[in-house]
Structure formats: C-alpha cells, structure tokens
Amino acid sequence: MVFGPFVWGACNSGDAVAPAPAAVVPPMVPTTPSSVSPLVISRVVAPDTVIAGSTILFEGSGFSLAASGNTVALGGAAVSVISATATTLEVRLPLAGAMPCLRTGPQTLRVTSNGRTEERSVIVRVATRVKLARGESVNLLNEDSAACTEFVAGSDHAARYTMAVINTSQDVAASTGFQVRSAASPASAIAAVPMMSGSMSGFSTGATFAGSTAAGQAPHGLSHTDLEQDNHGAHLERQTQLVARTRSAVPAWREQTASRGAVAMSRAPMMVGQTVSLNAMYTSCSASARVNARVVYAGTRAVVLEDVASSRAGTMDAEYRALGQEFDAVMYPLLVSQIGNPLALDQAMGGDGRVTMLFTRFVNDSAAGTAGYVTSCNLYPRTTIATSNEDEIFYARVPHASETVSAWRRSMRSTVMHEAKHLAAFAERMASNTPLEEPWMEEATARIAEELYGRTFSNGATAWKSNAGWAESLHCEVYQCNDQPLVMWKHVPVLHDYFAGVDTLSPLGRAAAGDFTYYASGWSLVRWAVDHYAANEGAFLRDLVKGGAATGMNALAARTGRPVEELLADWALANAVDDRAGFTPTKRTLTFPSWNVQELMAGLNAMNGGRYSAQPLRVRQISGDAQVAVPQLRGFSASYLETAVAAGGSQLVELRGAQGGAVSGAIRLAIVRVE
C-alpha cells in the first residue's frame, strides 16, 4: 500500500492543525476482463444414485468465486452451495423433508453462475421405492422414509397396496391433519391436483363412533352404553392418582398390625344371614355412605352381600348364590392362573381369604350407568384412610326398576370377572409398591379377563389362537343359548365403532367425553400382542398385570421386546388385512390368531344391517393423479388408504402436512401389498 506524506504546520497561535490532504492512490485490485468466461460444466462427480443430503462436485469453468454468486436447483428445491472456485463448485442436496417428492431416475440440476445457466442430469432417489410381492409388507418408521413413497408393479401384473398412516405419538390429544398426494404419470414431481375428501371402501356412513343405547339395540334388548364406560375410565384415573399420592400400603399395614396385634387384626368371617354395615365410596375416599347389607353367600373365595335397601331385597338370593358359586369354581381359579390374584394383599391385611361383592343401590344412585367398580380406598388400613372397609371388596349395581333379573344376571356375570380383575391388578401392584397401570391398559386387560371367562362356555371353540368367529362366540350370547352370559358382546360392537371412526379415535384413551371405544381397541391391541409375542398366555398376562417400572405401551413393548412404533404399525395393518378373502400376509404379525374379526363384523351386520357394517374400517382410495385430505389423525391410531398400480407402472404417494408443508414428525407409514 502507498501512503502520502504526513505534514504538520503551525499558526501564530501555536495550535495544531490537521494534516494537509495527500494524493489518494486507489488500492490494487485484480484486473477484470472485459467479458465473463462462459459457464462450462465438464464433469459431475457424484454417486451413481444421488440421495437426499448427498454432496455433488461440478468441475468446469466460469463459476462465481463467491459461493453466494452461484445458485443450484433440483426440481424447484434450492441446493446448498458449500464452496466455489473458478473451476469447481461443491453443493449438497437438501434433506428428504425439503426435497420435492420425485421418482427414482434422471433429474435435472440447474446451475446458474454469473448470469449463465447450465443443466446436467443425475440419477436421484428421493422416494422410498416399494416393490413387494403379494403378501409382503414393510414399515417405514423414520420421518424421511415415510414422506415420499414410490409403489411399483411388475411388468406382467398390476398391484394394489394398503397403507396405514400412523400417528406414533402416545398422547391421545396429539391429533394432526395431513394431505396425501399421488401421481401415476412419469412427472418429475407431484403436480397440484384438485383436493378431495377421498373415496372410501368398506365404510358405512351410518355407523357412529359412540354407541348410544338407542344406536346399539340388538335382539333381546342388548345394548352397549357410553355412560358406563366413560364413568369407569374417569374412576380409574382417580384411582391411579390416589395410589400415587398415598403412602405405600404394605408398610402401613405392618405398622397397624404392630400397634393392634395380629389377633386383633384378624377379620371375623362373615356368615350367611348376617347383616353388616359397610362404607360405600366412589368419587372420593372421604365422601362415603353407610350401607347395611345382608350376607347372601359365603363361599371359599367369595362373600356376596345384598343392600337391604334395594327394591328387590330378599327376592334374588338364588341369583346371588349362583354368582358366588361361579366365582369360587370358575372365575377365581382363572384369575390366579392367567391374570393375577385379587387376594395378593390378604395376608398383610389379615383377611379371611375371600373377595367381598357388595351389590348396592349406592352404585345405581351415585355412579349412574356404571355396572361396578373397585376403589383402592379399601386396600389401605384405617390409620391411612379412615373410611376404609379394610377388605378386598368391589361394588356392583342392583337391577334397575325396568330391568328383569335374568337380564341383569346375563350382563353381571362378566362384570364380576371384570371387576375382580381390577381388584387383582390393584392388589398385586399395591403389594409390591408398583404404580397402578394406565387406565386404558387397565381396561384392556380387564376385557381380556372377561374374554378368558367367555372361553369357558365354548367347549374349546374360542381357545387361544383358534381364530374364532361369530358362530363360536357371539351367536349364543345374542340369541341366549346354553345360558351363555354377555361377554364378547361388550367387545365386538364397540370395536366396530372404533373402526368406523378410526381417524379420530385411539386405543390409548378417550378422544372426548362419551368415547369409550378405547375399551375395545385397547383390548384388540393387547390381545394381538399376546397372540404374537407370548410363549405362554397366562405368564405373559400375569407379568403385564403385575407391572414393573414401565406402564402402558412402554410396558407392552418391554413384554414383547419390540419397539412401540413397530407394534402400532403391525397392529394397524392387521386391522386392515386379517382374514381378508383370498389373502394371506407373509408376516404373521399382520393377523389376529385368536379372532376372525371379519367374520365377527359380518355377524353384526347380519344381525342388524341398519346399525352395523360388515366392513366398518374406513379405507380411502387414492390412485392416479389425486389428492386426499385427512382432517384429523388421533395420537396412536391410523388412517388407511389403498392405491392401485398398473402393470409395469409406478405410483408416487407423498405425505404432507394439513396446510401442504412438512408432515408432522410423529407420522409414519406401514405398507402391505394385498393384490
């Protein structure tokens, strides 16, 4: 650099003055030619097939020396420039989520430098290419692989693929909408096409997701109501919170035994004809009412009491005795061998080795619509909860005024098994100081307990993995043969309603007040897992009910040894293709070994075609150049689509967010080829 002279001068006053201006010499700069060298790309250094995030090197001349002076695009997506010289340009493709949905094949890269543009073709793979044999399936369980899929058919035959778009979030409230765009033509990207709601197959628009009493009518006055299940689910949530904030039960019992003495702690056995006074409580341990009840039955494992204030008190002794005897002979042994012991706390409590069943109008009056319930209040000593009955007890309703005794008994028998299972889970977990299960899982395993009880009436026709259908189970429940109680009737019609509203519902809990479909979908999910991952059904269920460090889906994943997302993907596909006519999946987990769900739904339809669809699962059709909007997909559920691919062709399917942007990070895709 050249500097001018630095000169000082002085005035008479002697003040300093600024230096005199010097001659300015401009800095030296590179000589610019009168014309820019033409842009020439002589060589492209890249993998044989370029994937999202790959680096590409262009060699040639005429590139801008500043990286920002070069722009590169692929199908409308900007490509990042990493570095530039006069003869090289290094770029990196965006990640899959920022790439257009493209078929695998030649794509044009546009390079612009110094106002000149050159194009070069490279083989690019953005879409996850799916070419399956009939019956084969694949789960795309990472965010990038699920966003853009290319379905391929062989040259000699067309293909049909079923897709389950799954929301892997375990938060029931985490709903997300999305768009599905498809293109069958060999375009470089999916073009914008008119949005439509999507045609559906196998879906009866007359189905409702919440089975009201009126909507659920069937022969002989059968119904399934939302109020009972809604109240029951909320009650279990309260019980989980109560146990979480209350001190451990076993140390409390030990302290009370030490203060009272073992003899004083021993409970005097109740005898037939005796009248006892007990506390009844529902919403809170402190909000209790006294119930005077007469002992109607005192057996080996059950004591049955009737509220003396019930309108039919003293007239139903035979029915109550039959319930107690069936519990002693059938239900209790089944619970202990397959589920858990409702008397797991009995020794610590100083009990008499029997479960107490209190049939009381308190349930009818205070928990309207509820058939029965268990409260953990009674499993603590009175030094911890003053209103405790210090007894393994469950409460159940008495017949309604307009209900026949036979109809009450027909429904109540499986309710006894259901509530005894809740009692077993509470007792087992409180005995080991283990947190109570999540309500949906608690209900799902209670429904499995009912299912096991229902097997005792079928002479092996509904045995584990028997693929039982309507004739083996629901037929005799609905049409009252062989004194068979209502068991699977409480499962199957509600599963029908889950299928009909599958986008907006979830097996992990209620989507809204009045939604109880999770009782059936949760049962289906756990039953499916037991069928595929249990070497011994009883051992698997006992471990699941007894519990450990994990709860809910994390507990089920621990028992199966499979990731939660994989369980959802396979169960979701099984819902769509199990027992599909003329179809057998290659992967065994795409089946329901214990139940022929297609036949069960067909049986419902034959019984009441106005209420039930033979194929209620909502499946949207999308093929060719189309676009479908799914307004809502509930956490841990699935939306179903099918696409047809012409022989020798391919079908591009892209998932986008509700507004056309990137799809939610919880969205994944499970695929099976069905034709």
Three-state SS sequence of 252-317: HHHHHHHHHCHHHHCCCCCCCCCEEEEEEECCCCCCEEEEEEEEEEECCCEEEEEECCCCCCCCCH
526/458 same-domain check: yes
DSSP state of 134: T
Query: How many other C-beta atoms can be found within 10 angstroms of the C-beta atom of residue 159?
Result: 24
Edge-to-edge strand list for the sheet holding 619-621: 137-140, 667-673, 159-167, 638-645, 619-621, 199-201
What Rg, from alpha-carbon coordinates, does the chain have? 35
Query: Where among 398, 432, 466 does a domain terminate?
Result: 432
Say whether 73 sits in a helix, a strand or coil: strand
Torsions phi, psi for 84 (to 5 deg): -150, 145
443/531 same-domain check: yes
In a domain, 233, yes or no: no
Query: How many other C-beta atoms can be found within 10 angstroms of the C-beta atom of residue 214?
Result: 9
Beta bridge partners of 290: 279
119/162 same-domain check: no
613/496 same-domain check: yes
Query: Where among 125, 145, 175 does a domain terminate?
Result: 125
Phi/psi zone of residue 238: left (φ > 0), alpha (ψ -120 to 50 degrees), beta? alpha
What's the CA gap between 90 and 70, in Å, rounded?
A: 10
Buried b (16+ CB within 10 A) or exposed e, 497-512: bbbbbbbbbbbbbbbe
Query: Do 102 and 127 touch, CB atoms closer than 8 A?
Result: yes
How many residues in the chain?
675
Domain count of the chain?
4
428/444 same-domain check: no
**pLDDT profile of the chain (675 residues), mean per 10:** 32 35 41 65 93 94 95 90 96 85 90 95 92 97 89 94 98 96 68 41 33 35 49 77 83 86 69 97 92 98 98 97 98 98 95 97 92 95 95 97 96 98 97 95 98 96 98 95 94 98 97 93 98 98 96 98 98 98 97 98 97 97 95 98 95 94 93 98
- State the Cα angle at 363 between 362 and 366, rounded to 5°: 75
What's the CA gap between 276 and 294, in Å, rounded?
A: 6
462/354 same-domain check: no
Torsions phi, psi for 642 (to 5 deg): -130, 140
Q: Within 118-193, where are the H helices?
A: 143-147
Query: Do 361 and 398 touch, CB atoms closer than 8 A?
Result: yes
120/135 same-domain check: no
Which secondary-structure segment (H or E) carries 417? helix 405-431
Query: Where among 399, 415, 432 does a domain terminate?
Result: 432
C-alpha dihedral sign at 28, 31, 32, 36 = negative
Structure tokens at 200: 């559906």
In a domain, 231, yes or no: no
Say whether 94 sits in a helix, a strand or coil: coil
414/546 same-domain check: no
CATH of the domain at 56: 2.60.40.10
Strand pairing category for 355-359 and 393-396: parallel
C-alpha dihedral sign at 385, 388, 391, 392 = negative
What's the CA gap between 204 and 312, in Å, rounded?
A: 43
In a domain, 625, yes or no: no
Range of the domain at 59: 40-125
pLDDT value of residue 266: 62
CATH of the domain at 668: 2.60.120
- With tokens 């283990």, the residue in question is 434
Structure tokens at 478: 């609905």
Say whether 396 sits in a helix, a strand or coil: strand
| pTM as predicted | 0.86
169/303 same-domain check: no
In a domain, 34, yes or no: no
Query: Do 100 and 126 touch, CB atoms closer than 8 A?
Result: yes
CA distances from 436 to 207, 432, 501, 607 (A): 34, 11, 29, 39
Buried b (16+ CB within 10 A) or exposed e, 422-437: bbbbbbbbbbeebebb
Query: Do 63 and 71 touch, CB atoms closer than 8 A?
Result: no
350/462 same-domain check: no
Own/partner pairs, 51-54, CB within 8 angstroms, 24+ separation? 51/93, 51/124, 51/125, 51/126, 52/93, 52/94, 52/95, 52/96, 52/99, 52/126, 52/144, 53/92, 53/93, 53/94, 53/95, 53/96, 54/92, 54/93
253/361 same-domain check: yes
What's the CA gap between 418 and 544, in Å, rounded?
A: 16
Query: Do 376 and 236 touch, CB atoms closer than 8 A?
Result: no
In a domain, 35, yes or no: no
In a domain, 273, yes or no: yes
The identity of residue 307, as a single letter, is D
465: buried, middle or exposed (CB in 10 Å: 19+, 13-18, 0-12)? Answer: middle
What's the CA gap between 437 and 518, in Å, rounded?
A: 15
499/598 same-domain check: yes
